[in-house]
Amino acid sequence: MPPYLLLAVAIAGEVAATTSLKLSENFSKPVPSVVVVVGYVIAFGVLAKLLKDGFPVGVAYAVWAAAGIALVAAIGVLFFKEPLTWTMIGGLALIIGGVVLLELGRSH
């Protein structure tokens, strides 16, 4: 499986797990609680494989974390009606910009 596809799977697992943490209501709801555990197992398992296969740890973690932050923030706004300010948007842009710079730096 191509490295960035593996990374996408790890990100999807982490986002599903993190979102389900809110839905689990302190692990009192069984289905979201199971999604939390399964999602994190997938996320960390796939990330571990990616790193074992030689993908740079700094880039993998930066992309994984930044994409997770951005996606969870978007889910919070869209589905949980959480606020989004221009300052928060600026912060997300800086995170994404930092990841892009890390990736560009890797190719030199």
Task: Give the global pTM.
Answer: 0.87
List the chain pLDDT tens, one digit each, 108 residues. Answer: 899 999 999 999 999 999 999 999 999 999 999 999 999 999 999 999 999 999 989 889 888 999 999 999 999 999 999 999 999 999 999 998 988 888 788 766
CA distances from 81 to 38, 68, 76, 90 (A): 26, 18, 6, 19
Q: Look at residue 104 in the predicted model and tell me its pLDDT.
A: 82
Question: Which domain, by its residues, includes 14?
Answer: 3-106
Q: In whole angstroms, what is the distance from residue 79 CA to residue 99 CA? A: 26
Report the domain count for the chain.
Answer: 1
Q: Look at residue 108 in the predicted model and tell me its pLDDT.
A: 63
